[in-house]
């Protein structure tokens, strides 16, 4: 049995960043990784999807060439080159994670780990045991299947498999219009595939402000993606002709979509199996139970990132890990976990931070909604990206404390970051008006938000 200061299980953005930070602060760290270095984010999540999303943008930009007088532009593209570029990006970053985890103070064990007791972790194959006063579980999540749905073997793929598919499907049917479903719909539509989305709920992106979610769905629909909302998928079966049949019930009637590839994107569930046999409290659906400092029911054992089910985002996993290391070292920090910006990398992009309008209505909070439109912004018009809106929610005080911001449009994720930074500083609408924004930039849409200026909409609850 070897003793160390900190054991980390999982090398995703939660685990590897925590390891780097802890080792930098002088702790001896043992990291276990049973799969690929970098976790879901690097290998089958954020990075590969954003690499494909970039290539999708390139194709959409090429499609604008007729505006330059280049008529009947014909272009084909090699999907295998798209996949090769994605792989190259993943490998470059994976090498970076490998280098980072080889720094002094970190021992990397390339094996699955399991608990022997609350403070002892064993490498499953070699049987080597490590003991530490502090353990961070960062085992991530896995895709889940819809309940009450009969699925033939091999009839569906998950996001990881779709990212490595050898050739483009003619018709891609996506079950689920959450973040993953919408991103793939946008990407494969740009690649020229027919895309159909079947969703149980009334609107896509349930965690996003309704207004913005609806705008995005309409925009993606205009590009040719077909949506069946309020539709419960009953089965996905293999047809004799090699096609897959997605049968769903909509408004009391049964309907079938036939596609050559079906992506199941109905959400992800926390990976909690690692705590079996321990006293660490867990909920199969919601994840490993933690307090506000991500400490589990066993003192000194923490669960960060997707496995605690709080916010399944790479940057949430990273910052939770940093906070835990700070707690272990007795360092106070001021990370605001209630201000968690998030983005959906569709075309157009969507991003948000803070409360949605519905949440403010539900909590009877008095607020004002201010909207600024890309169509009135010089840079947006110059970029041919006039489709977009910034919605800022402020309280009804004279300064206007910022409660939330929701954006659909080009570079929404970059724009929302400014508002997230301001919310971290407890800035107000009045402060936004005092900030000078470069001209011409999309950021001027944020800077110009005002209930009083002409051409902008402001409404009060
Ligand atoms: C298609 C897709 C797109 C996404 N896009 C984005 C995005 O744009 N932005 C964003 O913020 N988030 C995105 N996400 C979510 C993001 O990937 C996750 O939130 C993030 O990876 C969670 O990090 P983590 O460290 O908690 O876990 P993970 O990244 O899942 O890493 C967990 C690691 O633990 C390892 N592990 C598990 N059990 C054991 C064990 N017993 N022993 C040893 N190792 C173990 C696994 O092999 C894995 O490497 C996306 C996800 C998907 C699926």
pLDDT at 69: 72
Dist. CA 90–CA 132, nearest whole Å: 32
Instruction: Write the burial class of residue 163 (CB in 10 Å: 0-12 exposed, 13-18 middle, 19+ buried).
Output: buried
What rounded mean pLDDT belongs to the chain? 95
Question: Is residue 41 in contact with ligand 1, taking CB distance under 6 Å?
Answer: yes
Cα–Cα dist 96/103, whole Å = 11
Band of residue 417 on the pLDDT scale cut at 50, 70, 90: very high
pLDDT digits (tens, 9 = 90+) for 98-125: 999 999 999 999 999 999 999 999 999 9
Nearest 5°: CA angle at 170, between 250 and 184? 65
Cis, bond preceding 440 (omega within 30 deg of 0): yes
Say how many Å lie between the CA of residue 226 and the centre of ligand 1: 29
SS3 228: strand
Q: What are the tokens at 356?
A: 């949605």
Confidence category of residue 459, pLDDT binned at 50, 70, 90: low
Find the length of the chain. 461
What is the band of 457 on the pLDDT scale with cuts at 50, 70, 90? low
For ligand 1, atom 9, which residue shows the shortest CA distance? Answer: 46
Task: Specify whether 439 is catalytic.
Answer: yes
| φ, ψ (nearest 5 deg) of residue 433 | -65, -25
Contact 315, 339 (CB under 8 A): no
| 3-state DSSP helix/strand/coil % of the chain, to nearest 5 | 30, 25, 40
Tell me how far CA of residue 56 lies from CA of 61, 160, 346, 354, in angstroms.
9, 18, 10, 29
Is 9's C-beta closer than 6 angstroms to any atom of ligand 1? yes
What's the pLDDT band for 452 if we cut at 50, 70, 90? low
Q: What distance in angstroms lies between residue 39's CA and the mean position of ligand 1's atoms?
A: 5
Q: Is the pLDDT of residue 456 over 50?
A: no
Average pLDDT of the segment spanning 265-286 = 93
Residue 207 has pLDDT above 60, yes or no: yes
Q: pTM for this structure?
A: 0.95
Q: Which two tokens stand for residue 46?
A: 């954020």
pLDDT band with cut points at 50, 70 and 90 for residue 285? confident
> Which pLDDT tens digit goes with each residue over 143-157?
999 888 999 999 999
The pLDDT value given to residue 454: 42
pLDDT-derived band at 415 (thresholds 50, 70, 90) equals very high
292 C-alpha to center of ligand 1: Å? Answer: 21
Query: pLDDT > 70: what percent of the chain?
Result: 96
**Is 49 close to ligand 1, i.e. is its CB under 6 Å away?**
yes
Distance CA 275, CA 282 (A): 8
How much distance in Å is there from the Cα of 291 to the middle of ligand 1? 21
Q: Averaged over 418-438, what is the pLDDT?
A: 95
| pLDDT higher than 60, residue 269 | yes
Nearest C-alpha to atom 17 of ligand 1 is from which residue?
A: 41
Distance of CA 191 to the CA centre of its chain: 21
- Spatial separation of the C-alpha atoms in residues 111 and 64, rounded to whole Å: 49
Q: Does the beta carbon of 193 lie inside 6 Å of ligand 1?
A: no
CA distance 227 to 65: 28
Residues 396, 401: Cα–Cα separation, whole Å:
8
- From CA 9, how far away is CA 303, in angstroms rounded? 9
Would you give the distance in Å from CA 203 to the centre of its chain? Answer: 18
Distance CA 222, CA 384 (A): 16
Q: What is the pLDDT of residue 249?
A: 96
Of 183, 195, 219, the closest CA to residue 345 belongs to 183
Lowest mean pLDDT among 61-75, 133-147, 178-192, 342-356: 61-75
Q: Which atom of ligand 1 is nearest to the CA of 311?
A: 19
Q: Is the pLDDT of residue 20 over 50?
A: yes
| Closest approach atom of ligand 1 to CA 50 | 8
Residue 160: predicted pLDDT: 96
Across the range 72-87, mean pLDDT stands at: 86
Query: Does the C-beta of 314 come closer than 6 Å to ligand 1?
Result: yes
């Amino acid at each position: 049995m070897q003793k160390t200061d900190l054991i980390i299980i999982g090398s995703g953005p939660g685990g590897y960043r925590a390891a780097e930070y802890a080792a930098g602060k002088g702790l001896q760290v043992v990291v276990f990784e049973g799969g690929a270095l970098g976790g879901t984010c690097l290998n089958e999540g954020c990075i590969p999807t954003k690499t494909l999303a970039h290539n999708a943008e390139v194709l959409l930009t090429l499609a604008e060439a007729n505006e330059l007088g280049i008529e009947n532009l014909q272009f084909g593209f090699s999907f295998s080159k798209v996949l090769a570029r994605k792989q190259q990006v993943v490998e470059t970053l994976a090498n970076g994670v490998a280098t980072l985890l080889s720094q002094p103070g970190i021992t990397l064990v390339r094996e699955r780990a399991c608990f022997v007791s609350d403070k002892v972790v064993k490498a499953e194959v070699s049987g080597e045991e490590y003991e530490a006063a502090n353990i961070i579980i960062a085992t991530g999540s896995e895709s889940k299947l819809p309940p009450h749905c009969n699925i033939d073997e091999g009839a569906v793929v998950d996001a990881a498999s779709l990212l490595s598919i050898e050739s483009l499907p003619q018709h891609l049917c996506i079950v689920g219009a959450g973040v993953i479903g919408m991103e793939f719909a946008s990407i494969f539509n740009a690649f020229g595939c027919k895309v159909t989305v079947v969703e149980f709920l009334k609107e896509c992106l349930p965690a996003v402000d309704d207004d913005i979610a609806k705008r995005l769905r309409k925009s993606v629909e205009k590009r040719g993606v077909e949506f069946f909302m309020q539709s419960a998928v009953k089965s996905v079966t293999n047809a004799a002709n090699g096609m897959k049949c997605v049968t769903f019930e909509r408004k009391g009637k049964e309907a079938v979509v036939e596609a050559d590839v079906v992506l199941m994107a109905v959400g992800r569930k926390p990976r909690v199996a690692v705590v079996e046999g321990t006293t660490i409290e867990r909920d199969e659906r919601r994840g490993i139970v933690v307090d506000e400092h991500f400490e589990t029911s066993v003192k000194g054992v923490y669960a960060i990132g997707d496995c605690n089910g709080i916010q399944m985002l790479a940057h949430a996993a990273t910052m939770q890990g940093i906070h835990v290391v700070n707690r272990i070292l007795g360092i106070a920090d001021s990370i605001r976990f209630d201000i968690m910006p998030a983005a959906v990398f569709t075309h157009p992009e969507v991003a948000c931070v803070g409360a949605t309008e519905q949440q403010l209505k539900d909590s009877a909070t008095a607020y004002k909604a201010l909207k600024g439109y890309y169509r009135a912004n010089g840079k947006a018009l110059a970029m041919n990206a006039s489709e977009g809106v910034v919605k800022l929610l402020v309280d009804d005080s004279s300064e206007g404390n910022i409660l939330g911001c929701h954006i659909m449009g080009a570079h929404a994720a970059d724009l929302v970051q400014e508002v997230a930074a301001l919310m971290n500083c407890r800035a107000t609408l009045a402060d936004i008006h005092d900030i000078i924004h470069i001209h011409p930039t999309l950021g001027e849409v944020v800077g110009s938000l005002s209930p009083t200026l002409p051409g902008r909409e402001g409404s009060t609850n």
